[in-house]
């Protein structure tokens, strides 16, 4: 494997950054996870736009233009022979001193890793996930706005470990008001009486690229959709539930906190949107 670091591709074992990089010392940086399907980098422009918004929000000047960043991602796939896979694009604050201030960091570092990925075993896409709610809360906008896809993922990691301790692969994270924000790495949707619902961004949900893809696909099919406050009560009593994410794609949920959702099987709206999503992925994005 070849990893892109600041203008050159190096072997995996030689891919290194300074121990004084503030991305390592303080989690001071941003990233995007991007999927590749059949030589198409899915919704690359949307990912790069979100990266730019994250950079602006943390007062970071990206060292590459959007066009240059796009070429880095595409070339990472070409160099590694990735026609179906995943790209992790990372921008750290760069090398500095041991102080918190980024003033000593002269230039951000850009890292691009292209590889294969499989988040969930295939049977969960046909049979559905059983998930739980964990005590760790989602970061609120008054602390660190969840719209910033930063390298600070410790609360999500803690939630993921709490899920694993209880035998679950994924978990819902609530915000401080008790409303559903998202899962540890995915956005959440439910279907109730034919209407799609998903947590409002203000509740702590990331503006997921796959989330938006599903919203677009639902509207194209005249499915009613509402972004609103959701509690666990609405999920327990939903007819269907599914999660969305770049790595997870669209995966059904059949139980939450040991309460069966609907009839305990992936529902028709979930299946319809899953099929529509896969029809789109190799046609919308940057071709390699």
Same domain, 87 and 204: no
Of 62, 82, 115, the last residue of a domain is 115
Domain count, the chain: 2
Q: What is the pLDDT of residues 76-114, one digit of tens each?
A: 999 999 999 999 999 999 999 999 999 999 999 999 999
pTM: 0.96
Listed residue (178, 81, 68, 88) closest to 133, CA to CA: 178
- Are residue 89 and residue 132 in the same domain, yes or no? no
Q: Is residue 259 part of a domain?
A: yes
Closest CA to 172 of 216, 127, 238: 238
Q: Are residues 140 and 185 in the same domain?
A: yes
Active-site option among 149, 160, 260, 271 = 149
Same domain? 159 vs 29: no
CB neighbours of residue 121 within 10 Å: 9
Write down which residue in 115, 142, 161 finishes a domain: 115
158 lies in some domain = yes
**Per-residue confidence band for 118, with pLDDT thresholds at 50, 70 and 90:** confident
Token couple for 101: 């201030």
Look at residue 69 in the predicted model and tell me its pLDDT.
Answer: 98
pLDDT digits (tens, 9 = 90+) for 174-233: 999 999 999 999 999 999 999 999 999 999 999 999 999 999 999 999 999 999 999 999
Return the HEC string of 23-86: HHHHCCEEEEEEEEECCEEECHHHHHHHHHHHHHHCCCCCCCCHHHHHHHHHHHHHHHCCCCEE
Q: Please check whether residues 171 and 65 belong to one and the same domain.
A: no
Give the whole-angstrom CA distance, residue 30 versus residue 94. 11
CATH of the domain at 172: 3.20.10.10
Residue 119 above 80 pLDDT? no
Q: What is the mean pLDDT of residues 41-47?
A: 98
Are the C-beta atoms of residues 87 and 114 closer than 8 Å to each other? yes
Token pair for residue 174? 């609530």
Do 111 and 138 share a domain, yes or no? no
Residue 264 in tokens: 């305990």
Q: Are residues 151 and 274 in the same domain?
A: yes
| 89 strand-pairing partners | 32, 112
Its domain, for residue 166, covers 123-280
Q: Could you tell me if 140 and 253 lie in one domain?
A: yes
Four-CA torsion 49, 53, 55, 58, nearest 10 degrees: -170
Beta-carbon contacts of residue 68 (< 8 Å; ≥ 6 apart): none
**pLDDT tens column, 24-36:** 999 999 999 999 9
Do 48 and 76 lie in a common domain?
A: yes
195 in the same domain as 254: yes
**What's the CA gap between 218 and 238, in Å, rounded?**
17
Q: Is residue 256 in a domain?
A: yes
Residue 96 phi/psi, 5-degree rounding, is -150, -155
The domain boundary, picked from 96, 115, 134, lies at: 115
Q: Is 149 annotated as catalytic?
A: yes
Domain annotation covers residue 186? yes
| Residue partners of 143: CB distance under 8 A and separation at least 6 | none
pLDDT at residue 286 in the model: 92
Same domain, 96 and 132: no
Nearest Cα to Cα of residue 228 among 193, 273, 196: 196
Predicted confidence (pLDDT) per residue in 230-280, tens digit: 999 999 999 999 999 999 999 999 999 999 999 999 999 999 999 999 999
């Amino acid at each position: 494997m070849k990893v892109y670091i600041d203008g050159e591709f190096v072997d995996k074992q030689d891919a290194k950054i300074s121990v004084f990089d503030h991305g390592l010392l303080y989690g001071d940086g941003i990233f995007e996870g991007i999927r590749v399907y059949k030589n198409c980098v899915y919704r690359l422009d949307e990912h790069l736009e979100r990266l730019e918004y994250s950079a602006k929000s943390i007062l970071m000047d990206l060292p590459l233009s959007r066009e240059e960043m796009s070429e880095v991602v595409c070339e990472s796939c070409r160099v590694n022979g990735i026609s179906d896979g995943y790209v992790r694009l990372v921008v750290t604050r760069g090398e500095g001193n041991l102080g918190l201030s980024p003033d000593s960091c002269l230039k951000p570092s850009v890292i691009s890793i292209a590889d294969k990925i499989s988040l969930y075993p295939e049977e969960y896409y046909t049979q559905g996930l059983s998930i739980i709610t964990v005590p760790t809360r989602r970061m609120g906008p008054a602390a660190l706005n969840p719209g910033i896809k930063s390298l600070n993922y410790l609360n999500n990691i803690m939630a993921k470990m709490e899920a694993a301790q209880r035998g679950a692969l994924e978990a819902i994270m609530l915000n401080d008001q008790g409303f559903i924000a998202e899962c540890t790495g995915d956005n959440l949707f439910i279907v109730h009486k034919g209407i799609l619902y998903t947590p409002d961004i203000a509740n702590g949900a990331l503006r997921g690229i796959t989330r938006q893809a599903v919203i677009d696909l639902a509207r194209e099919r005249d499915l009613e959709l509402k972004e609103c406050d959701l509690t666990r009560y609405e999920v327990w009593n939903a007819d269907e539930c599914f999660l969305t994410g770049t790595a997870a794609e669209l995966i059904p949920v059949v139980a939450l906190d040991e309460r069966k959702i609907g009839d305990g099987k992936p529902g028709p709206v979930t299946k319809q949107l899953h099929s529509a999503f896969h029809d789109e992925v190799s046609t919308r994005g940057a071709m390699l």
